[in-house]
Amino acid sequence: MKTSPKSPLTISILIICIYFSQLQFLAQNTEQSSSTIAIKIENTLKKLTLKEKVALCHAQSKFSTKGVERLGIPEIWMADGPHGVRAEISWDDWSYAGWTNDSITAFPALTCLAATFNPKLSSQFGFSLGEEARYRKKDVLLGPGVNIYRTPLNGRNFEYMGEDPFLASTMVVPYIKGVQKNGVAACVKHYALNNQELWRDKVNVEVSDRALHEIYLPAFKAAVTKANVWALMGAYNKFRGQYATHHELLTKKILKEDWKYDGVVISDWSSAHSTIASAMFGLDIEMGTGTDGLGTSTSNHYDHYYLATSFLKKLKSGEIPLAILDDKVRRILRLRFRTNMSNNRPLGRANNKEHHDVARKVAAEGIVLLKNENNFFPIKDDKNLIIAVIGENATRSMTAGGGSSELKPQFEISPLQGIRARYKNATIIHSMGFASGPSVYDKVIPSKLNADSLRVAAIQTAKKADIVLFVGGLSKSHLQDCEGDDRKQFGLPFGQETLINDIVAVNQNVGFVLVTGNAVAMPWLKKVKGVIQTWYLGSMAGHAIADVISGAVNPSGKLPFTFPIKLEDNAAHSFGEISYPGIDMTQQYKEDILVGYRWHDTKEIKPLYAFGYGLSYTSFKVSNIEIDKKTYTKEASINVSCTVKNIGNIDGAEVIQIYIGKSKSKVKRALKELKGFQKVKLKSGEKSNINIEIPVNSLAFYDETISDWNLEKGDYIIYVGNAANNIFKKKTFSVK
C-alpha cells in the first residue's frame, strides 16, 4: 500500500498541535513543580547526612559547589557576568583554563541597557544572555548588578543601571525573568551599599534607614518580589559595623523575613568573615574564601571555609541549631530544582545571529547624543569626504579588562571597523593619537609607545581630513572603569584633553565619540561640534556606533545618571572626605536621599548633562498633557496622558518621563523623583497618545519614626518632561 505525502496544510496542523502540546506540557510541568518541589526537597533533606548538607554550603572550586553523587544531586556551576558569560576559569585560581570553545556574544554593559529606557529590550537582553549561559552549562549567572551610581569615580559603575532606583527597578525585572526562562538562575548583586571599589572589602557605610529603603534597596526588592530572582550575591563592604554578606538587618530581616525571599544568598568571593555570622545571618553558599587569588591557600583549603569544617563542628556541638543548616539546604535544593534538576530546561544557544542582533539593537538604542551643533551628526557617506578617526579607543578591545565582567567574545567589531564597513564611499584615515596600556585588574602598565610621536601623527592626520571623529574616553584598565579600585581623576587620562585642543587648532570639524561607563569632565566641550556617549557596547560595538553616526539609526538613548560640571557638584563629593571615600575606613552618606538629579534639582546646581537627557536627529512635540483626576485615594493610580508627535523628517523615539514632588512636605524630600516613563517610537509625522499609570502608594516615603512606609496627605506636583531638567508641564493633584 502506498503512503500519500502529507499536504502542507496537514504538516502545518501537525506543527501547531506539537507546539500546543509542548506548551501544555510546560504548563503542567510548571504547575507540578510549584506544588511538588517542596515535597521533593523534604524527601531529599531526609536522605542527606550532616556532612553532605554542610558540603552543599561552600565551594569546591573557584566557580562550583559540590553535589551528592549517591543521590544524583549535581554540582552547581556558576559564571560571571552581567553582560556576557565569562571564559572558563581554572579550578583553583584566577587563571583562564585555556578552553577553545568558550567564546560568547558580548552584550553591552548595563549602563547602556539602562540608557535604552526600554524594558522590553531588557527582556530580550536577559533571555539571550540566559541562552548563552545555558549553552555553556551554567546554573547560576552572576549578574545583574543594581548598585546605585553615587559617585562618578566608582570603577564599577559601568556594570550597573544608573543613579535612579525606579529606573534600575524597572529595567532589572525583565532582565531577570529573561535569564531565568532558560533554567539559569540570575544572581542580583551586590547586596547592598557596594557603591565604590576603593576599600570595598573594608569600608563601613553609615546611611539612614530612609536612604537605605528609598535609594539603595528598591532595585533589589524588585528583583526579589517582582522578578522572583533565584540567587543574590552579598557585598564586600560593611554596613553599620557588620559585613553586608551576613548581615542581621539586611540579609536576615529585610531580605529573608520582610521580603520573604526563597532563593539562595551567595557570598561575593571572600566576602564571608565569620562562621557564626555566616550561619545565623543568612548566608547560604560561601565562595572564594582563602582561594581568591589575593589571600593565601592552604592544603584542603575548601575545608577551611567558614561554612565548612568550622560550621560542621558548631552544628555537632549544638552551638548552631540544625534548623539553621536545614533552611540553607532547602534553599540550595530549591535552586537545583529550578535549574539543573528541572525537567524542562531548554538547551541554550550561543553566538547565533539573533543574539548578535539583540546586542546591536541594545547598543544602538542605548547610545546617547549629547551635543549636535549645526546638525554635525549624522554624517553622510560622500565619496569626496575624508574622515579622520583618531584615538586609541577606535581600535582598543573594550570587552577585555574591567575585572570579573571581562569577556572572551567570538569577535568584537571596533569603532574603526564599524565606520569603515558603513562608509563605502568616503575615505577613512586613522591615527592612534594617544595610548594607555594593557587592561590589567590590579596595576597600571604604561604604554610603550611614545606619546609625543602619537600626538604629532594625530595632528597631521587631522589636517588632511574634512571631519575628525575623536574616539576617546576611558578604558577597562585599573583606575579607570575597572573592578578593584576607583578612578583617581574626573578628567580624561593620557593627555586626551591636550590632544583635543591641538586637533581643534588645525581642524574645527570635530565630533567626540565618548567611550566610558562613567561621567567625565568636559572642559573641551565648547570646542567640539558633537558628542556621542557610547558606553562599552560589546561584540557589535563598531556597527552600532556607525549606525548612529551615519543616521541609519536615530539615537534615542537617555542618560541613566547625571553628568556634573565639576566633581564637587556631585552630592557624595560635595561633603568632602567623610562622604567619599571615607575617613578611617568609615564613610557617611551625608547627601542622604539626595542622590544624582535629586541633589542637583533640590540644591539648584546646574548639571553639565541631566539625568534622562538625550538628543535625537528628529524633533518631537508633546501636547495635551493631562491627569485623570484632581484628588486620589491611596489605593488609586494616577493616569497621566499626553500626545507625542514626531514633527521632524525622520523616524525616531522619545522617552516621556514622569516625575512627582511633594509640596510642603513634613519631611525632607527631593524636588521631584522619577515615578514613570514610556518610550514611544514614531515615524516622521506620526503621533501617538500615551498613558502612564503611577500607583499612588509609590509616592510614600520611608518613615523612620515607624520603620515603615508612610503616604502623606496633601498636594503633589507632577512634572512631565524628557529629562530631569527639561519639563514640559506641571500638574497639581492631592492625595486624601
Tell me: the pLDDT tens digits for 145-183?
999 999 999 999 999 999 999 999 999 999 999 999 999
Beta bridge partners of 645: 621, 687
Q: What is the dihedral of CA 154, 155, 156, 157, to 10 degrees?
A: 50
DSSP, res 535 = -
**At 520, is the secondary structure helix, strand, or coil?**
coil
Same domain? 517 vs 640: no
Same domain? 109 vs 191: yes
End-to-end CA distance of the chain: 80
Beta strand 386-390 with 586-588: parallel, antiparallel or unpaired? unpaired
As to burial, measured by CB atoms within 10 angstroms (0-12 exposed, 13-18 middle, 19+ buried), residue 578 is middle
Q: What's residue 237's pLDDT?
A: 98
As a whole number of angstroms, the distance between CA 655 and CA 363 comes to 17
Same domain? 292 vs 371: no
Same domain? 270 vs 128: yes
Q: Look up the domain containing 491 and give its range.
A: 361-558
Same domain? 320 vs 265: yes
662: domain CATH number is 2.60.40.10
Q: What's residue 643's pLDDT?
A: 98
Q: What is the dihedral of CA 310, 312, 315, 321, to 10 degrees?
A: 90
State the alpha helices, DSSP H only, in 48-109.
50-55
Closest listed residue to residue 719, CA positions, set 684, 682, 676, 681: 676
CA neighbours within 13 Å on the CB side: how many for 2? Answer: 3
**At 319, is the secondary structure helix, strand, or coil?**
coil
**At 178, is the secondary structure helix, strand, or coil?**
helix
Do 173 and 226 meet the contact criterion of CB atoms below 8 Å apart? yes
- Residue 604 belongs to some domain of the structure: no
Beta strand 427-431 with 386-390: parallel, antiparallel or unpaired? parallel
The CA-atom distances, in angstroms, between 195 and each of 82, 124, 236, 486, 602 are: 17, 27, 10, 10, 22
Same domain? 294 vs 151: yes
State the alpha helices, DSSP H only, in 74-214.
110-115, 119-135, 165-180, 209-211
Do 531 and 371 meet the contact criterion of CB atoms below 8 Å apart? yes
Q: What is the dihedral of CA 584, 585, 590, 594, to 10 degrees?
A: 160
> Which residues make Cβ contacts (< 8 Å) with residue 657, sequence separation at least 6?
558, 612, 674, 676, 677, 720, 721, 722, 723, 724
Q: What's residue 101's pLDDT?
A: 95
- Residue 469 belongs to some domain of the structure: yes
Residues (pLDDT < 50) of the chain are 1-6, 8, 10-32, 292-295
489: domain CATH number is 3.40.50.1700
Residue length of the chain: 736
Burial 647-674 (b: 16+ CB within 10 A, else e): ebeebbbbbbbbbbbbeeeeeebbbbbb
Task: Give me 602's grid cell.
Answer: 533640590
Last residue of a domain, one of 505, 529, 558: 558
- Residue 505 belongs to some domain of the structure: yes
Burial 498-510 (b: 16+ CB within 10 A, else e): ebbebbbebbebb
Do 477 and 444 meet the contact criterion of CB atoms below 8 Å apart? yes
Of 268, 547, 569, 601, the catalytic one is 268
The amino acid at residue 489 is Q
Beta bridge partners of 723: 726
CB atoms within 10 A of CB 575: 15
- Residue 581 belongs to some domain of the structure: no
Give 573-594 pLDDT, tens digit per residue.
999 999 999 999 999 999 999 9
DSSP, res 602 = H
- Residue 716 belongs to some domain of the structure: yes
Closest listed residue to residue 104, CA positions, set 120, 122, 80, 124: 80
∠ at Cα 184 (21, 245), nearest 5°?
Answer: 150
Tally of domains in the chain: 3
- Residue 641 belongs to some domain of the structure: yes
As a whole number of angstroms, the distance between CA 27 and CA 157 comes to 39
Same domain? 272 vs 391: no
Closest listed residue to residue 561, CA positions, set 611, 512, 599, 517: 611
Do 480 and 155 meet the contact criterion of CB atoms below 8 Å apart? yes
As a whole number of angstroms, the distance between CA 387 and CA 381 comes to 10
> Which residues make Cβ contacts (< 8 Å) with residue 4, sequence separation at least 6?
none
**At 729, is the secondary structure helix, strand, or coil?**
strand
Q: What's residue 6's pLDDT?
A: 46
Catalytic (active site) residue 268: yes
**At 110, is the secondary structure helix, strand, or coil?**
helix
Same domain? 331 vs 372: no
Task: Give me 606's grid cell.
Answer: 546646574
Same domain? 295 vs 437: no
Complete DSSP assignment for 615-654: B-SS-EEEEEEEES-SEE-TT-EEEEEEEEEE-SSS-EEE
Do 366 and 115 meet the contact criterion of CB atoms below 8 Å apart? yes
163: domain CATH number is 3.20.20.300
Same domain? 496 vs 642: no
Last residue of a domain, one of 505, 533, 558: 558
DSSP, res 145 = B
The amino acid at residue 701 is F
- Residue 701 belongs to some domain of the structure: yes
Same domain? 296 vs 246: yes
> Which residues make Cβ contacts (< 8 Å) with residue 444, sequence separation at least 6?
437, 477, 478, 479
Same domain? 282 vs 398: no
Last residue of a domain, one of 274, 307, 338: 338
State the alpha helices, DSSP H only, in 116-266.
119-135, 165-180, 209-211, 218-225
CA neighbours within 13 Å on the CB side: how many for 206? Answer: 11
Map grid coordinates 556607525 to a residue.
546
- Residue 463 belongs to some domain of the structure: yes
